[in-house]
Structure 1
Amino acid sequence: MSSGPSSSAPNGLHVHSDSSPPPSAPRPDQPTHSHHLNGFADQSSHNQKIIEYLYNYGFQRGEYADTVLHVHQNVYRLHAIILSRSPFLVQLLSTSPQVQVGGPRTIYVPVEREPEVTQEGFAIALGYLYSSISLRLIRSDNARAVLAAGCMLGGMEELCQVAYETCKRSISVDSISAWLEFVDAIPTPSTGADTPEVSSVRIFGPYAQRLRDDVFHFLVVTLPEILEIHPTPSDGTPTTPENGREILLQVFSGVPFEMFKAAIESPSFQIGSDQARFKFAKEAVEARKQGMARGPGYEETVVLAFGSAQGTGTSAVHVTRKMRKRPLWKVNS
């Protein structure tokens, strides 16, 4: 880069060498504009150029880097002043000594036990420290990894919110199985008595429960609507295309038990009368017995309570689970 006129002022600030007179001070009766800062009416264009330069030359090219960051199989040449925006990286910077005086600092990001933090997701979150241009790189197929990386690094609420909203929109009939596997790996909220070492909870933070709630809402409300499962006003029998009901059964056969029980018993799960819900639940349990039920050694049953629960806010259909009894072997003497 070519240098401008020399100056003793720090950080590149220097006095212009041209002979033009300095701007005159405003008279007391002359109106001033509070949005004029240092003589510039609009700095947004200038600021944008700086951000683009930082992203292109600082992040993508690693020019003038003072920090070497190792993560996965990648090596990044970056800048400590930018990385300090992340509380997680600040901790690593403060505990990683320089190999030689005046040389770059080397830090290693431990993600071996965090499978949700992928190479692409981490790169997008890391680039966000330099510029919000990383928001354009978030897609439905990488949003969860970006959210995991953003939550781990910290200090990037906007990135996490955009990634979360993309995750929420990506829940569909085609992707629900993958989301159910993800939810199944998240334990129920802890009471504080135990400290489970579960990656999803530690990495996703409050977004773990929000995603669980979104998957549940999709199961009990959105999915029946998509499959056109609506009870008729006359007898409460659902009018459903046959393939729609089969898809609903197939999805529910793979739902983790606690969510399956909550969905079947939820007042928001409107698929018909109590008898229609009971019949559906029995068929779903039967499908779960054929190899897709969660928890080996358990037996799931469905009970229809006597009397109607409509209007009480409770369900007449209840799902229970208990351990299968081991067969007793008689030993003949």
Structure 2
Amino acid sequence: MTTLINHLYHTGFQSGNYADTLLHVHQNTYHLHAIILSRSPYLVQLMSTSPQVSGQRVIYIPLGKDSEATLDGFAIALGYLYSPASLALIKPENARGVLAAGCLLGGVDDLCNYAYEACREAINLSTIASWLAFVDATPHSDDTASPGPSPIPTSAFGSYTLRLRESVLHFLMIILPAELDLCRDSLASSRSNSASPSPASSGRDTLLQIFSQVPFDAFKAIVESPAFQIGSEQARFQFAKDAIQLRKHGVARSTGAEEAVVLAFGGGNTGGSVVHVTRKISAVSCRPL
């Protein structure tokens, strides 16, 4: 079986021998085989309505210039139709494009799961800006945002959209504070009066800069959650205040919104304090022109 799959991949996909289908994606042309492409419901639909030229089907994939399914990602997804060997080509830098291409093709759950895991592992400090843009493109309702599941608009990632969003929130809420060493002791040292910034102070400043760009619904969900461990609830409250101050010059300003945070006491079943973030459209932004 392995020999057959290798033959299909190298002779059929990479070399394009004995092809009966021409598939065009922008400037790329693939010489492929209808029986293999029929693994994809999307390609089956295209083949059923595509013309034949000189005995070959001709398919055009309408990938827009802003499509999440990149050319590299689409090539890997097509290769997977022939052989799982294509999985070895998935890297952190192309995983998102592969996942979008896999979701477009359909019928390749193993590829999508593999690409999703690569995406999840690719969420880090150096890539968080692009993932924040992704979260911003799939917003929750401002008034109902919470860490738990809620409906997400349809996107190029299909059912993986919510999973990706939750992975980004998990990174911001759990992983990044731990990586920046924002435990109780380090947070306390960051608020010291020493002349030189401590490592914790630098970590807190880094986190503040990132949270100044987090879309409001995600910002609210994370800051209000007790799982956001950066010290006491008072420390979380102060962090939210400092972040909102920064956000006045960025995210909040661009939306014409006024954000605020309160520390409510006597909340929850334990009678402790609760951090609560609010937002309202400023009167200035609502004024008629």
Name the TM-score class by shorter chain: 0.7 to 0.9
Q: Could you tell me which amino acid in structure 2 is paired with residue 69 of structure 1?
A: L
Q: Give the residue type in structure 2 aligned to 1:184.
A: D
Deviation sequence 1:196-253 (CA, Å, 0-9, x none): 9x7xx33211110001111111111111111111125xxx964551101101101111
With the length of structure 1 as denominator, give the TM-score of the two structures.
0.75
Alpha-carbon separation, structure 2, partners of 1:54 and 1:62: 10
Structure 2 equivalent of residue 116 of structure 1:
68
- The residue matched to 1:203 in structure 2 has which SS? coil
Structure 2 counterpart of 1:68: 22
Indicate how the Cα distance of structure 1 residues 267 and 222 shifts in structure 2: closer, same or farther if over 3 A, else same.
Answer: same
Q: CA offset at residue 113 of structure 1?
A: 6.3
Unaligned runs of 5+ in 2: 142-150, 191-199
1:79 partner amino acid? H
Q: Which has the higher helix share?
A: 2
Aligned to 1:202, the other structure's residue is in SS state: coil
Q: Identity of counterpart residues, as a percentage? A: 56
1:154 aligns with 2:111: no
1:130 and 1:314 mapped to 2: Cα distance?
A: 58
Bigger Cα displacement from structure 2, 89-98 vs 137-146: 89-98
2:13 equivalent among 59, 65, 72: 59
CA deviation map 1:163-196 (0-9, x unaligned): 000111111111112111111111439xxxxx99
**In the alignment, which residue of structure 2 is the partner of 1:322?**
280
Please, which of 93, 100, 125 is the counterpart of residue 173 of structure 1? 125
Structure 1 pair 188–247 and aligned structure 2 pair: CA distance change class (3 A): same
Q: Deviations over 1:24-57 (max 9, x none)?
A: xxxxxxxxxxxxxxxxxxxxxxx21211111111
Tell me the secondary structure at the aligned position of residue 300 of structure 1: strand
State the structure with more CA Rg.
1
In the aligned structure 1, how far is the partner of 2:126 from the partner of 2:272? Answer: 31
TM-score, normalised by the number of residues in structure 2: 0.86
CA distance in 1, matches of 2:273, 2:33: 58
| Alpha-carbon spacing, 1:308–1:224, altered in 2? closer, same or farther (3 Å) | farther
Question: Higher relative contact order at CA 8 Å, sep ≥6: structure 1 or structure 2?
Answer: 2
Gaps of 5+ in 1: 1-46, 190-194
Q: Number of aligned pairs?
A: 269
Q: Give the SS at the match of 1:205.
A: coil
The residue correspondences of 1:236-247 to structure 2 (distance < 5 A) are: 238-240=188-190, 241-247=200-206
Q: 1:80 aligns with which of 34, 49, 67?
A: 34
Matched residue type, 1:183 = V
In structure 2, the residue matched to 1:261 is 220
CA separation of 1:313/1:63 partners in 2, compared to 1, >3 Å: closer, same or farther?
Answer: farther
* Cα 1:204/1:243, change in 2 over 3 Å: same
Are the counterparts in 1 of residues 252 and 258 from structure 2 also a CA contact under 8 Å?
no
Q: What amino acid is the match of 2:179?
A: I
Q: Distance in 1 between matches of 2:285 and 2:246?
A: 24
2:183 pairs with 1:225: no
SS of the residue 1:70 aligns to: strand
Match status 1:274 vs 2:233: yes
Residue type of the alignment partner of 2:116: Y
